[in-house]
Amino acid sequence: MSEQTHVTGRSTIVLATRNKGKIREFSELLLPFGLKVLGFDDFPHLPEIRETGMTFAENALLKAREASEVTGLVAVADDSGLEVDILGKIPGVRSARYSELPGVPATDEGNVKKLLAALEDVPREQRKGRFRCCMAACAPTGEHLLAEGNWEGMVALRPSGSNGFGYDPVFFDEEQGCTAAEMRKEEKNARSHRAKAVAALLRRWPAFWRRWLAGCALVR
């Protein structure tokens, strides 16, 4: 607990992100459990964690485990991306870095452009895919929890909509009849892979937290 000087490990967790919106959203979801949620910005000396896993679950666990070890707190992390069936689940874990080139970082626009080029001659009915999100929670005692959420859809022929980010303009939800970028925030949050993963995590959270507290008692 090297950096944990002003928090109590039994009432505080760290979310492995610097995104204040994610931290605020997760804080609201964990309100019934009486937990305070901190982010990476609360731990200035926490090193950046490289996503070297081959799966979403591996990356989420890697980030959560390292954050927990460094802070001495229960840590929660997620990894997510887009899988396109006909491309062999590509871009997958490389979704955010799909258009990356040596010395040139990937951008949302570049990722979408590369994906559409890869599917240029693929008919509409063969463009099936899904957004996937894996969330992991790890405790300093080694106790961990994994939860996943999927959002089925297809890759549109062209971008549409100005809401959202990443692949949202080309991710078409067939039930809703529009892309993720054409949905209102409330609609997207009700259907998204991340929302489903968070819901699955929270269903199992009480039992996980009890095991963590029991582990604390054993190491006193």
Contact 44, 70 (CB under 8 A): no
- Residues 6 or more apart from 11 whose CB is under 8 A from it? 34, 35, 36
Catalytic pick among 41, 42, 78, 79: 79
Contact 26, 13 (CB under 8 A): no
Neighbour tally for 26: CB within 10 Å = 23
Q: What does the block give as tokens for 187? A: 């609609």
- Residues 6 or more apart from 2 whose CB is under 8 A from it? 70, 72
Q: What does the block give as tokens for 182? A: 């054409």
Supply the angle between the helices 193-218 and 20-29 in degrees, to the nearest 10: 70
Task: Pick the closest to residue 92 from 134, 145, 146 (CA basis).
Answer: 134
| Residue 79 annotated as catalytic | yes
Contact 94, 162 (CB under 8 A): no
Provide the annotated active-site residues.
79
